């Protein structure tokens, strides 16, 4: 297996992948099987039953561990299945400190599923990370960080959160879906678990739903692998293969996402009808210094508001774009446009979301890897 001395671009292609031992096939085969033949009970080649192990999944898990600078990777049927597995580390009475600007599905599983099991979640602003220590008490077990956040693209200091976690013996989890391992490696800043919805940048082609956890510590991996196998939200081998294939071009895609993102963020900022543009790369972004510290580049996620701040004005733009498709999700090769107030964040009361900056006209872009001039032209005709 490719070791950690190579640079990320090399590891993305080779990590975890070995030629198939029976044929030499360079591409990892899709082991579409549910079980494995044993010579005698217990005499097998490391594979017994496919919920527990599958060689295609093993290759992917090893690749994931490597590209996030961890020692272990675990694959799940979706990002939410990975989140579910982490939450199952908790017991009734435990408390979790969670960033308040969060993926809607994560907010939903915490408040509507795990709160029913007696686990308490404190949703707090982590803009000034050291201040979250005030929420730590003797029941606190976990800190849950998402950075950059969705859709407001706030930045949270991973190193500062992990330091508080270490000091109080808490597990620090970072949802790294928006950044991808190309832009940021939370384990390097002290996080214990990195979570991905591989549905987004890792898969990268909007053709698979998949989740992943990566960690360094053997004891933590053992607990999570036990949960993965016991609860059973494992991915099929074909989905593992798609993610493994997607990962091989992550660096090339991300480089273009970043270039296009930068060009479009600057274009939008110069547009007379556009209000605020939220993009991590602007020097006047409120946590730009932290972004520069923990990220290698700034990505292709952009949100913006219209000076005519109304749902109707936003919907007019959404209806007119042609290259930017109106859809949920992000991180694929094609550009997407969305309206959080009526789509992903519609369940949050208006007063609450507006207070946090999620105003009526806020539009979110997942900038794809098409030609940037064409993308800018599309936005120009749509905004008018
Ligand atoms: C999409 C997403 C998830 C959930 O992942 P699924 O693969 O859709 O289950 C979790 N966190 C973030 C930041 C996401 O964007």
Domain spans of the chain?
8-247, 251-383
76 lines ligand 1 (CB under 6 A): no
pLDDT of the residue at 326: 96
Single out the catalytic residue among 36, 47, 51, 320: 51
Q: Would you give the DSSP letter of residue 28?
A: P
| Pocket of ligand 1 contains residue 175 by CB under 6 Å | yes
Measuring from atom 7 of ligand 1, which residue has the nearest CA?
A: 79
206 C-beta closer than 6 A to ligand 1: no
Is 43 an active-site residue?
Answer: no
251-383 classified as CATH 3.30.70.1400: no
CA distance 69 to 186: 9
What is the model's pTM? Answer: 0.96
Looking at 11, 200, 253, 372, which residue is catalytic? Answer: 200
* Positions in the chain short of pLDDT 70: 1-4
Q: Does ligand 1 lie within 6 Å of residue 180's CB atom?
A: no
Neighbours of 190 (CB within 10 A): 17
The helix or strand, by DSSP H or E, that contains position 6, with its residue range, turns out to be none
Q: Is 202 exposed, middle or buried (0-12, 13-18, 19+ CB in 10 A)?
A: buried
Say if ligand 1 is within 6 A of residue 177 CB.
Answer: yes
Q: How far is the centre of ligand 1, averaged over its atoms, from the C-alpha of 7 (Å)? A: 27
Q: How far is the CA of 355 from the centre of ligand 1 (A)?
A: 24
* pLDDT for 356: 83
Centroid of ligand 1 to alpha carbon of 198 (angstroms): 8
Characterize the bridge pairing of strands 95-99 and 120-124: parallel
User: Which atom from ligand 1 is nearest to the alpha carbon of 329?
Assistant: 1
Distance (Å, whole) CA 286 – CA 125: 13
Residues forming beta bridges with residue 174, ordered by sequence position: 145, 194
Å from CA of 233 to ligand 1 middle: 15
CATH entry, 8-247, from 3.40.640.10, 3.40.190.290, 3.30.420.40, 3.30.70.790:
3.40.640.10
Selected catalytic residue, list 103, 107, 182, 201: 103
Quick check: do 8-247 and 251-383 share a fold?
no
List alpha helices for the chain, DSSP H.
8-14, 55-67, 79-87, 104-108, 158-167, 180-183, 218-231, 237-247, 250-269, 288-294, 311-320, 350-355, 372-383
């Amino acid at each position: 297996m490719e070791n950690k001395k190579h640079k990320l671009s090399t590891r993305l292609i080779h990590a975890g992948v070995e030629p198939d031992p029976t044929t030499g096939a360079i591409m990892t085969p899709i082991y579409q099987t549910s079980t494995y033949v044993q010579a005698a009970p217990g005499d097998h080649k490391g594979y017994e039953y496919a919920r527990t192990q599958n060689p295609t999944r093993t290759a992917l898990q090893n690749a994931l561990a490597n590209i996030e600078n961890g020692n272990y990777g675990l694959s799940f049927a979706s990002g939410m299945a990975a989140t579910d597995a982490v939450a199952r580390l908790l017991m009734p009475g435990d408390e979790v400190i969670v960033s308040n600007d969060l993926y809607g599905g994560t907010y939903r599983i915490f408040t509507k599923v795990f709160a029913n099991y007696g686990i308490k979640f404190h949703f707090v602003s982590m803009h000034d990370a050291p201040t979250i220590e005030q929420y730590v008490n003797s029941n606190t077990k976990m800190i849950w960080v998402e950075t950059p956040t969705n859709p407001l693209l706030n930045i949270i200091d991973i190193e500062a959160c992990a330091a508080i976690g270490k000091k109080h013996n808490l597990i620090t989890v970072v949802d790294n879906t928006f950044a991808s391992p190309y832009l940021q490696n939370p384990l390097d800043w002290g996080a214990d678990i990195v979570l991905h919805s591989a549905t987004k940048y890792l898969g990268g082609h909007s053709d698979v739903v998949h989740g992943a956890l990566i960690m360094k510590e053997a004891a933590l991996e053992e607990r999570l692998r036990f949960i993965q196998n016991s609860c059973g939200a494992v991915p099929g081998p074909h989905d593992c293969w798609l993610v493994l294939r997607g990962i091989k071009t992550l660096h090339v895609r991300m480089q273009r996402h970043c270039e296009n993102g930068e060009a479009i963020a600057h274009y939008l900022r110069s547009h007379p009808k556009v209000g605020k543009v939220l993009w991590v790369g602007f020097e006047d972004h409120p946590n730009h210094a932290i972004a520069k510290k923990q990220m290698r580049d700034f990505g292709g996620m952009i949100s913006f508001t219209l000076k005519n701040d109304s749902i109707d004005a936003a919907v007019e733009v959404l209806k007119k774009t042609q290259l930017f498709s109106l859809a949920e999700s992000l991180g694929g090769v094609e550009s997407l446009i969305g309206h959080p107030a009526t789509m992903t964040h519609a369940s949050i009361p208006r007063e609450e979301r507006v207070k946090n900056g999620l105003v009526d006209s806020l539009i979110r872009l997942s900038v794809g890897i098409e030609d940037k001039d064409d993308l800018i032209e599309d936005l120009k005709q749509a905004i008018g």
